[in-house]
Chains A and B, each alone.
Chain A
Amino acid sequence: MTELNNLWLTETIRLREEHAGPLEDLEANRLARSAGGDLPARIQRRALWLAERDGLSEALKHWLQGARLALIVLAVLAVVSGTGLAFAAMGDGLHPVNVFWALGSLLGINLILLLSWALGLVFAGEHGASLGRLWLWLSEKLARDAKAAQLAPALLLLLQRQKLNRWAIGVVANGLWLLAMLSALVILLTLMATRRYGFVWETTILSADTFIAMTQALGALPALLGFSVPTEQMIRASGDAALNIESARQAWAAWLVGVLLVYGVVPRLLLAVFCLWRWKTGKSALRLDLNLPGYAQLRERLMPTSERLGVSDAAPAQLHRVESGVSEQQSDGALLVAIELDDDRPWPPQLPKSVSNAGILDSRESRHKLLEQLSRFPPARLAIACDPRRSPDRGSLALIAELARSASATRIWLLQAPPGKALDAERLGDWHVALQQLELPFADCAPMNWLETGHD
Chain B
Amino acid sequence: MTDTRKQPLKLAVVGHTNVGKTSLLRTLTRDVGFGEVSHRPSTTRHVEGARLSVDGEPLLDLYDTPGLEDAIALLDYLERLERPGERLDGPARLARFLEGSEARQRFEQEAKVLRQLLASDAGLYVIDAREPVLAKYRDELEVLASCGKPLLPVLNFVSSTNHREPAWREALARLGLHALVRFDSVAPPEDGERRLYESLALLLEHARPQLERLIADQQAQRLARQQSAARLIAELLIDCAACRRSVVSEAEQEQQAINELRKAVRQREQRCVEALLKLYAFRPQDAAASDLPLLDGRWGDDLFNPETLKQLGVRVGGGIAAGAAAGAGVDLLVGGITLGAAALAGAIAGGALQTVRSYGSRLLGKIKGQRELTVDDNVLRLLALRQRQLLQALDARGHAAMDSIQVATPQDKTWREGTLPEALNKARAHPQWSSLNAHPKLNQAERQEQIEELAQQL
Contacts and interface: CB of A to CB of B under 8 A. Distances in A.
Interface string B28-70: 1111001000011110011111111111100001010011011
B291 interface: no
A367 B55 contact: no
Contact of B53 (A133, A291, A306, A308): A306
A307 B351 contact: no
A15 interface: yes
Interface stretch (B80-88, B219-227, B238-246): B219-227
B70 A394 contact: yes
A364 B224 contact: no
B351 A129 contact: yes
B443 A15 contact: yes
A292 B228 contact: yes
Given A38-B55, A160-B448, A362-B135, A320 B105 contact: yes
Contact of A127 (B279, B351, B443): B351
B106 A290 contact: no
B70 A395 contact: yes
B139 A394 contact: no
A8 B39 CA distance: 51
Interface in A391-446: 391-395, 398-399, 421, 424, 426-427, 430
A54 interface: no
A364 B72 contact: yes
B334 interface: no
B194 interface: no
Interface string B10-35: 00000011100000000011110010
A300 B53 CA distance: 11
Interface in A283-299: 290-293, 296-297, 299
B231 A293 contact: yes
Interface stretch (A62-70, A95-103, A311-319): A311-319
A255 B112 CA distance: 96
A390 interface: yes
A426 B131 CA distance: 16
B108 A364 contact: no
A363 interface: yes
Listed residue (A36, A308, A421) with the most chain B CB atoms within 10 angstroms of its CB:
A308
A203 interface: no
B330 interface: no
Interface in B130-155: 131-132, 134-136, 139
A126 B115 CA distance: 68
Interface string B85-109: 0000000000000000000011111
Contacts of B46: 311, 313-315
A157 B279 contact: no
A293 B224 contact: no
Contacts of B42: 319, 393-394
Contact of A430 (B28, B30, B39, B227): B39
Contacts of A293: 228, 231-232, 275, 279
B350 A156 contact: no
Contacts of B31: 306, 308
Nearest to A302: B56
Contacts of B67: 393
Nearest to B47: A313
Given A394-B69, A430-B39, A308 B48 contact: yes
A132 B70 contact: no
Contact of A367 (B53, B61, B72): B72
A36 B448 contact: no
B170 interface: no
Contacts of B76: 364
A352 interface: no
A19 B54 contact: no
B132 A343 contact: yes
Interface in A257-307: 290-293, 296-297, 299-300, 303-307
A291 B227 contact: yes
B283 interface: no
Indicate the size class of the contact surface on chain B: 35 or more
B75 interface: yes
Contact of B48 (A125, A130, A310, A421): A310
A306 B51 contact: yes
B445 interface: yes
Contacts of B115: 313
A314 to B, nearest CB: 5
A316 B217 CA distance: 38
A305 B448 contact: no
B162 interface: yes
A340 interface: yes
Contacts of A130: 350-351
Contact of B50 (A291, A307, A340): A307
A160 B445 CA distance: 7
A364 B70 contact: no
Given A19-B442, A39-B55, A430-B41, A306 B29 contact: yes
Contacts of B190: none
B186 to A, nearest CB: 15
Contacts of A153: 443
B71 interface: yes
Listed residue (B16, B41, B281, B350) with the most chain A CB atoms within 10 angstroms of its CB:
B41
A370 B34 CA distance: 42
A134 interface: yes
Given A293-B228, A363-B135, A424-B39, A309 B48 contact: yes
Contacts of A304: 53
A30 to B, nearest CB: 14
A316 B45 contact: yes
Contact of B16 (A290, A313, A391): A391
Interface in A133-156: 133-134, 150, 153, 156
Interface string B409-433: 0000000000000000000000000
A296 B225 contact: yes
Contact of A310 (B49, B66, B70, B136): B49
A134 B351 contact: yes
A79 to B, nearest CB: 28
B53 A303 contact: yes
A305 B217 contact: yes
A37 interface: yes
B294 interface: no
A129 B139 CA distance: 73
A89 B35 CA distance: 84
Contacts of B55: 38-39, 303
B279 A296 contact: yes
Contacts of A127: 349-351
B70 A393 contact: yes
Nearest to B130: A389
A311 B16 contact: no
B156 interface: no
A319 B109 contact: yes
Interface in B267-315: 275, 278-279, 281
Interface in A351-407: 362-364, 367, 390-395, 398-399
A240 interface: no
Listed residue (B1, B55, B66) with the most chain A CB atoms within 10 angstroms of its CB:
B55
Contacts of B446: 129
Given A160-B445, A395-B72, A398-B70, A309 B39 contact: no
Given A313-B115, A315-B46, A307 B228 contact: no
Given A36-B1, A39-B55, A303-B55, A320 B132 contact: no
Given A33-B56, A319-B109, 8 more contacts: A38-B56, A291-B224, A306-B51, A307-B53, A310-B49, A362-B135, A364-B139, A395-B69
**6 closest A-B pairs by CB:** A130-B351, A309-B49, A315-B45, A306-B29, A313-B47, A393-B69
27 contacts: A38-B56, A160-B445, A160-B448, A290-B224, A291-B228, A293-B232, A299-B221, A306-B51, A307-B50, A307-B51, A309-B61, A311-B48, A312-B63, A312-B116, A315-B66, A316-B108, A319-B42, A320-B105, A320-B108, A340-B136, A367-B72, A393-B70, A394-B17, A394-B69, A395-B71, A395-B73, A395-B136
